[in-house]
Amino acid sequence: MVKVGFIGLGLMGKPMARNILKKGFSLAVYNRSRAPVEELASMGAAPCSSPAEVAQRSEVLITMLPDEPQVAEVLTGVFEGMRSGLVLVDMSTVSPMFSRQMAAAARSRGGDMLDAPVSGSTMAAEQGNLTIMVGGSRKTFEETLPVLQAMGKNIFYMGESGAGSFAKLCNQIAVAVNLLGVCEMLLLASKAGLNLSQVVEVVSTGAGGSWQLANLGPRMISRDFNPGFKVKHLRKDLRIIREISEKLGLPLQAVALVSELIKALDEKGHGEEGTQALIKLVETLASHQISNA
């Protein structure tokens, strides 16, 4: 079995790394803060003190980091310890142009790189059920598939480098616009005096059902704003989508609206909360806090 490395052990990365260990791969890990490194080490992973050390110990090296500056910083270290043939798999949500740049840098050093962002949130990361969208060489994708299968169930080859990142951004448009719809739906239901839990259940069985509604609707109602997917990360995704749509001349009205709201929510200090916290901003604008009749 190939030797795997994992850098970025946050809400997503830690359970993903755990699943790789569970499947019997040898695993080397690194993270900025040490606590998750120690936790994975107690389960059998090799703790590393730098990205270069992870690179030296790996044949496939996965990164799951917040944004492009962190991926670029980590890969600078990885390139120092990189041997020819190393396959990098960046599973962070970043722009396709950045994915292509990093893949070219990896190839120029005798390695290869896939962009393989994910969908499904922390629950799917824990259960090994993630959807994974992959861009890069098909041959490298096929060789890396057993490692990806340790983390995900629905794994799609999307095309050349950057295609995985493009697919993920498409996913994020549907996520963000739908999230706002769920907030507004609950606002109206609350004003109408309906039982909100029942409304979530009813709509979930019909054509209005969605992942956002089924998973985040109940958390909005119970005012559980703990993060699965952080507001600051959705802000970043929407920023990337808007930069690309600007370059392509695409008018994306719903994206513009929801990205301004998410930006305002982050600026109000809710960046570390889950995206379901959008309900708070929608409530403020409507001068009405939702409550279960």
How would you class 151 by CB atoms within 10 Å of its CB: exposed for 0-12, middle for 13-18, buried for 19 or more?
buried
122 binds ligand NAP (CB under 6 A): yes
Q: Is 263 a catalytic residue?
A: no
- Of 3, 23, 32, 219, the one binding ligand NAP (CB under 6 A) is 32
Tell me if residue 91 falls in helix, strand or coil: coil
DSSP 29-50: EE-SSSHHHHHHHHTTPEE-SS
Structure-block tokens of residue 113: 């790189």
81 binds ligand NAP (CB under 6 A): no
231 CB-near residues (< 8 Å, 6+ apart): 262, 265, 266, 270, 271, 272, 273, 274, 275, 277, 278
- Separation of alpha carbons 15 and 80, rounded Å: 27
Site for ligand NAP in 158-197 (CB under 6 A): none
Q: How far is the CB of 288 from ligand NAP (least distance, A)?
A: 28
Which one of the spans 119-127, 134-142, 217-225, 240-248 is the region binding ligand NAP (CB under 6 A)? Answer: 119-127
The residue annotated as part of the active site, out of 14, 22, 23, 168, is 168
102 binds ligand NAP (CB under 6 A): no
241 binds ligand NAP (CB under 6 A): no
233 binds ligand NAP (CB under 6 A): yes
- Of 19, 93, 140, 259, the one binding ligand NAP (CB under 6 A) is 93
Query: What are the Cα distances from residue 238, in Å, to 76, 231, 233?
Result: 26, 11, 9
Which one of the spans 30-38, 54-62, 186-194, 248-256 is the region binding ligand NAP (CB under 6 A)? Answer: 30-38
Residues lying near ligand NAP in the complex (CB under 6 A) are found at 7-13, 31-33, 64-66, 70, 73-74, 92-93, 118-119, 121-122, 228-230, 233
